Amino acid sequence: MEDQKNTGEISRVMVTGAAGFIGSHTCDALLQKGKTVTGIDNLSTGSLDNLADALRHDTFSFHQADICETSLIAKLFNDFQPDAVIHLAALVSVPIAEENPDENDRINVLGTKTVAQAASTCATKRIVFASSAAVYGNSEHLPLSEAEPTNPINQYGKAKLESESLLLPYEKSHAMIPTCLRFFNVYGPRQDPDSPYSGVISIFSRACIQGEPVTVFGDGHQTRDFVFVKDIAHAVVASATNPILPGGIYNLCSGTGITLLELLDALASIHHDIPAPLFKEKREGDLRHSLGDPSRAREILGFTATTSFAEGIRKLQTPNQ
Ligand SMILES: NC(=O)c1ccc[n+]([C@@H]2O[C@H](COP(=O)([O-])OP(=O)(O)OC[C@H]3O[C@@H](n4cnc5c(N)ncnc54)[C@H](O)[C@@H]3O)[C@@H](O)[C@H]2O)c1
């Protein structure tokens, strides 16, 4: 183990939020690359079903644990001695974070601090953090580049920004390279459509499968920058395991705005005879357009969202991928 730490090879990776939507795809991608992986998750929104493939690997282990339990997290890191950590565990619901700002702070800021401190104590070389486009708030300068001033408008976005700020200095103070990836709208298999806070794609997709009408809030011309989960997992894994990639802040987005009406067209091409959508009043606080600029991640990390929207929507119809 010590030898690997000294040679710069990244072979042991810790993943927090491993049983979640993005976490489980990330574990699968790491295992496919031959890495030894330990997943941590308290299963608050995640499920062991998502890890069915990962759990078949001898090189995968799982611990049901809360990232806020400081001494347990320190022990898990000390036992595993990761070369890199991918920190995805979070309170992900914007409305719940809004109603429970202390809980949002505890999980989304202090939880990040606990993970980062445990990692640095074990001389972990890289930490990759799941940040969010929510740090930009309602900016109208589209597409959003990383140079756009941050102005989060909710507790969740504020906590993501605070986590970025506490992670970035680790490069100088602890020689641990932090990479903060600002995800836009991630979609794909295993996203939980039962959650009222789930992505619009999984909610629409499930309605189509069940032959029910979808509800569109507003006129349907609002746009989102959707990225397929396996493309995200690929970028996350590269950021954690490629020792020559520089850290910093990167948007992970497609750079293409898709309207909700285009999403419905894509679903209609797969599910024939779907009922007409129900249009309701635009919801207070909903963004009209969200669009990221992926240039920096493309130029520095070599990231491109390779899965076309039509292909991603088709793959979504085979849920156990
Ligand atoms: N899905 C998106 O479009 C999107 C966009 C921007 C950012 N993100 C971020 O990506 C990360 C993963 O999100 P996701 O969509 O996979 O959500 P998810 O809910 O499927 O995954 C989060 C996981 O973290 C676990 N978790 C929550 N609190 C925990 C705690 N205190 N201790 C241990 N585990 C805990 C949950 O059980 C869950 O498995 C999150 O940090 C989220 O904020 C996601």
* pLDDT, average across residues 184-202: 82
Same domain, 44 and 89: yes
How many domains does the chain divide into? 2
What distance in Å separates the CA atoms of residue 218 and residue 68, rounded to the nearest whole number? 39
* pLDDT, average across residues 54-74: 98
Residue 195 lies in a domain: yes
Same domain, 58 and 113: yes
Give the number of the atom of ligand 1 that is nearest the alpha carbon of residue 186.
3
pLDDT band with cut points at 50, 70 and 90 for residue 67: very high
pTM value surpassing 0.85: yes
Residue nearest to atom 20 of ligand 1 (CA): 20
Region of 34 on the Ramachandran plot (φ > 0 left; ψ -120 to 50 alpha; else beta): left
Same domain, 284 and 151: no
Of 156, 170, 187, 250, the active-site residue reads 156
What distance in Å separates the CA atoms of residue 280 and residue 234, rounded to the nearest whole number? 37
Give the number of the atom of ligand 1 that is nearest the alpha carbon of residue 23.
16
CATH number of the domain within which 275 lies = 3.90.25.10
27-63 per-position pLDDT tens digit: 999 999 999 999 999 999 999 999 999 999 999 999 9
Task: Please report the DSSP string for 89-145 in residue order.
Answer: -----HHHHHH-HHHHHIIIIIHHHHHHHHHHHTT--EEEEEEEGGGGTT--SSSBP
Cα(23) to ligand 1 centroid in Å equals 7
Same domain, 165 and 27: yes
Return the bridge partners of 128, or none: 86, 179
Please give the single-letter amino acid code of residue 250: Y
How large a percentage of the chain has pLDDT more than 90? 81
Q: What is the pLDDT of residue 197?
A: 54
For residue 276, give its domain range: 187-224+256-290+311-316
Q: Is 156 a catalytic residue?
A: yes
Spatial neighbors of 56 by CB under 8 A, at least 6 apart, are: none
Residue 36 lies in a domain: yes
Q: Is pLDDT at 196 greater than 60 in this prediction?
A: no
Q: Nearest CA to 30 among 3, 67, 70, 57?
A: 57
Residue 132 Cβ contacting ligand 1 at under 6 Å: yes
Residue 243 lies in a domain: yes
Residue 129 Cβ contacting ligand 1 at under 6 Å: no
Cα(144) to ligand 1 centroid in Å equals 23
Consecutive H or E run containing 203 = helix 200-209
Same domain, 273 and 246: no
Residue nearest to atom 11 of ligand 1 (CA): 88
Q: Is pLDDT at 200 greater than 80 in this prediction?
A: yes
Same domain, 191 and 104: no
What distance in Å separates the CA atoms of residue 108 and residue 113, rounded to the nearest whole number? 9
Q: What is the pLDDT of residue 257?
A: 95
Residue 104 lies in a domain: yes
Q: Is pLDDT at 122 greater than 90 in this prediction?
A: yes
Residue 290 Cβ contacting ligand 1 at under 6 Å: no
Residue 64 Cβ contacting ligand 1 at under 6 Å: no
Cα(21) to ligand 1 centroid in Å equals 7
Residue nearest to atom 1 of ligand 1 (CA): 186
Higher per-residue confidence, 216 vs 197: 216
Residue 41 Cβ contacting ligand 1 at under 6 Å: yes
CATH number of the domain within which 138 lies = 3.40.50.720
Residue 200 Cβ contacting ligand 1 at under 6 Å: no
Q: What is the pLDDT of residue 7?
A: 54
Residue 301 Cβ contacting ligand 1 at under 6 Å: no
Same domain, 168 and 263: no
Give the number of the atom of ligand 1 that is nearest the alpha carbon of residue 160.
43
Same domain, 209 and 145: no
Residue 47 Cβ contacting ligand 1 at under 6 Å: no
Cα(59) to ligand 1 centroid in Å equals 23
Task: Please report the DSSP string for 8-63 in residue order.
Answer: T---EEEEETTTSHHHHHHHHHHHHTT-EEEEEE--SS--GGGGTTGGG-TTEEEE
Of the candidate ranges 42-46, 113-117, 187-191, the one whose mean pLDDT is the lowest: 187-191
Residue 321 lies in a domain: no
**Is the separation of the CB atoms in 40 and 14 below 8 Å?**
yes
Residue nearest to atom 23 of ligand 1 (CA): 17
Q: Is pLDDT at 321 greater than 60 in this prediction?
A: no
Same domain, 124 and 217: no
Q: Nearest CA to 297 among 146, 140, 150, 152?
A: 146
Whole-Å CA distances, 227 to 106, 157, 185, 254:
28, 19, 6, 6
pLDDT band with cut points at 50, 70 and 90 for residue 192: confident
Please give the single-letter amino acid code of residue 255: G
Same domain, 95 and 220: no
Q: What is the pLDDT of residue 2?
A: 43
Residue nearest to atom 43 of ligand 1 (CA): 92
Dihedral over Cα of 42, 99, 168, 147: its sign: positive
For the chain, the average pLDDT equals 93
Q: What is the pLDDT of residue 318?
A: 65
Residue 281 lies in a domain: yes
Same domain, 99 and 19: yes
Same domain, 67 and 81: yes
What distance in Å separates the CA atoms of residue 146 and residue 136, rounded to the nearest whole number? 9
